[in-house]
Structure 1
């Protein structure tokens, strides 16, 4: 199992981050305690993903934060990112693993009990479980599962898990009580007036409930 701290996982959104930019938002969030930064931009082509990803990698150099690229395997490899995150509608996990090699982290989105049970720990390193709540940052998301659904899927899933979907600082206790290893946030950090302070608020709540 690869060593990845999923406790506070930032998913970048280009629209929400527009005022400050994705790179500066990521830099501020990592200073505030984010452990993972995911580059997600559904509107960007691979060349633009690589350009942004390389800027993010440079900004995060010297920190312990991991850089994950959403969906774009070619960009993830070109950037030399720490990992790739795929959804169920993207390429299948064995194909993704074959393309990124053994050393890169592979995350997979999981929305149902059947999908959670099907995650292969020999291929996938962590699961993104959700959406816990409906969220405007992902228009095509599946039916929200709530914290009871999160707990069920976490129990079934054989890899570490990060909860996602409309989560804020106030939800930290419920996320860890459900058994997840962390929470992924978008709007709770992206687009806030002070991303570092917003991240620190979540990180302090995690420290209280999770140590």
Structure 2
């Protein structure tokens, strides 16, 4: 399963994020999502391009959270959208954006199937465990991942509260090397490369 790192406005401040991203990539992350809900597009455009270039150089997928118009304008590698971000129809988005599109599906397989049929590139399910980032997020049973694997043909991303204490549970699911495990706190707090090594070891233990 591929490790998917997501930035955080507090844990990964803009001035340090490029260097932190480099460390995460060295540690084994294959996908990176830049998530910033508060800044204006004009304030993060340059940073977006820098992060996108770092990912491109290292053959890592770069995903921009939410900002559809900015992603199209900057020709960003990919975008991720949730229910609160759907300010443009998916059909219009797919027509105007040729990159990767990821969709948050929470615990809703029908939503995942709908977007798969519309042309999404991956779907995310969660929160799989209690999340520190989104404390009010509804926790969904990890079995949703097995149900999704039986019905969905595009890659699946598990997200929410994943850490060294529970990551081994994914070995009991049907997720495979095409699928993803997304994390925030477990990657960025402390030594980034050591965190990722420990997560990889814990995942492999079972």
Q: TM-score surpassing 0.5?
A: yes
Q: 1:125 aligns to what?
A: 121
Gaps of 5+ in 1: 1-5
- How many residues are aligned here? 200
Deviation at 1:58, TM superposition (A): 3.3
Q: How do 1:80-95 residues align onto structure 2 when only pairs under 5 Å count?
A: 80-91=75-86, 92-95=89-92
Is the aligned partner of 1:13 residue 2:8? yes
Conserved 8 A contact 1:73-1:84: yes
Deviation at 1:23, TM superposition (A): 1.8
Q: 2:195 aligns to what?
A: 198
Is the aligned partner of 1:99 residue 2:91? no
Relative to the length of structure 2, the TM-score reads 0.85
Relative to the length of structure 1, the TM-score reads 0.83
Q: Distance in 2 between matches of 1:20 and 1:32?
A: 20
Match of 2:29 among 26, 31, 34: 34
Deviation at 1:51, TM superposition (A): 2.2
Q: Distance in 2 between matches of 1:172 and 1:121?
A: 30
Deviations 1:96-148 (A, max 9, x none): 212313xx11111112233233232451010111110221312553x211312
Q: Distance in 2 between matches of 1:179 and 1:71?
A: 28
The root-mean-square deviation of aligned C-alpha atoms, in Å, is 2.3
Q: Specify the SS of the correspondent of 1:89.
A: helix
Conserved 8 A contact 1:119-1:157: no
Conserved 8 A contact 2:78-2:100: yes
Deviation at 1:157, TM superposition (A): 2.9
Q: Report the more deviating stretch, 40-49 or 64-73.
A: 40-49
Deviations 1:167-206 (A, max 9, x none): 113433322432232200010012x221122122223445
Is the aligned partner of 1:115 residue 2:87? no
Gaps of 5+ in 2: none
Q: 2:182 aligns to what?
A: 184
Q: Distance in 2 between matches of 1:81 and 1:204?
A: 32
Deviation at 1:80, TM superposition (A): 2.9
Q: Distance in 1 between matches of 2:151 and 2:192?
A: 34
